[in-house]
Amino acid sequence: MWYPFSAELDPNNSIISAESYYEIGELLGLLKWMFATNNHHPELMDRENLSNSRRFLVGRTPRRTEFSVTFRTEKSEYRLRRCFVGQYSMEARLQKIGTSITYHGQNVIQVLSKFHKPFIVGDRPNDNSSIFKPVDNYCRSAMIALANNWARMIGYQDSRIGLDYTGRWSTPDEFDSLSSRRRSVRASMSPLRILTNLAQAVMRKRTYGACVPVFCSFNVESLSEFEAIAMLDLVKNVCIEEGLQFIVGINSKPQISSMIDVIETPKLSIYEAD
């Protein structure tokens, strides 16, 4: 990651504020790597492979990143630690808190593969219904109704959020562009995307009785300060009411941060040499 950072997340809703939207993407990417089970390759750092891996895989000056996450399952609490060079995991350790059980290396990957991992949703166009796909028409209609009702609550009076039978969402941003490529990109960046993710989390909880934590990004620059605060306040209230843990990463905006409770990451400038 870009710099040292630590946070304790709320059981329902936390908002993490970074200096830029790009940094939020970096954080979500790192979280994905933490729980991934296909990126552990300590053999890349063997002496005979080191020069080639630096040149072709992780760059000429690979960055070493260490990350630790403490999380709970239904039965136990764990602390996961991994060390990355570039995007490749070189060391892994999983401790079952309160016991003497500790896993290392490939054993960590085997244990992780058995867990229900958090949903980490980026802003890529293909992230459609990655939390919960409609299992029938009732679920599809319910998610559409939830998302559109919430949108109207924050001021989108002519909300036209849609969801087809394959699980692909559409937002009003899509209807005004000419090319399909631009259409999909604009839709993925829509501020309404946070509502489609929230609707999926709510419906998953109502259908299965549980939903793992959800991490997603929200570009506050896409709305006015009042609209952005209203959106984040709505998300918080829904999470409390539905019993969800929904973590939102936003780009920093002082007027918004002063009005809501956010976890602020350090500014990169404090680490720059004089």
What pLDDT digit, counting tens, does each position of 190-230 carry?
788 999 999 999 999 999 999 999 999 999 988 889 999 99
Q: What pLDDT sits at residue 55?
A: 56
Calpha distance 73→212 (Å, rounded): 9
Q: What is the pTM of this model?
A: 0.86
Give the residue, 124 or 171, on which the prediction is more confident: 171
Answer whether residue 175 shows pLDDT above 90: no
Q: What pLDDT sits at residue 180?
A: 39
Answer whether residue 80 shows pLDDT above 70: yes
Q: What pLDDT sits at residue 57?
A: 53
How many helices (H) and strands (E) in the chain? 8, 11
Return all residues near 76 (Cβ < 8 A) that are at least 6 apart: 96, 97, 98
CATH architecture of 1-36+116-274: 3-Layer(aba) Sandwich (3.40)
Assign 43 a pLDDT band (cuts: 50, 70, 90). confident
Calpha distance 79→23 (Å, rounded): 24
Exposure of 1 by Cβ count < 10 A (0-12 exposed, 13-18 middle, 19+ buried)? middle
Calpha distance 31→113 (Å, rounded): 15
Q: What rounded mean pLDDT belongs to the chain? A: 85
Phi-psi region of 167 (alpha: psi -120 to 50; beta: other; left: phi over 0): left
Give the residue, 49 or 70, on which the prediction is more confident: 70
Q: Where are the domains of the chain?
A: 1-36+116-274, 38-112
* Residue ranges in the chain assigned as alpha helix (H): 21-35, 47-52, 106-112, 137-153, 180-188, 193-208, 225-242, 254-257
Q: What pLDDT sits at residue 54?
A: 55
* Residue ranges in 119-178 assigned as alpha helix (H): 137-153
Q: What pLDDT sits at residue 197?
A: 95
Q: What pLDDT sits at residue 179?
A: 36
Q: What is the mean pLDDT of residues 122-144?
A: 83
Task: Identify the CA nearest to 23 among candidates 273, 269, 265.
Answer: 265
Answer whether residue 177 shows pLDDT above 50: no
Query: Which backbone phi and psi does 93 adopt, to 5 degrees?
Result: -145, 130
**E strand or H helix at 206:** helix 193-208
Q: What pLDDT sits at residue 253?
A: 86
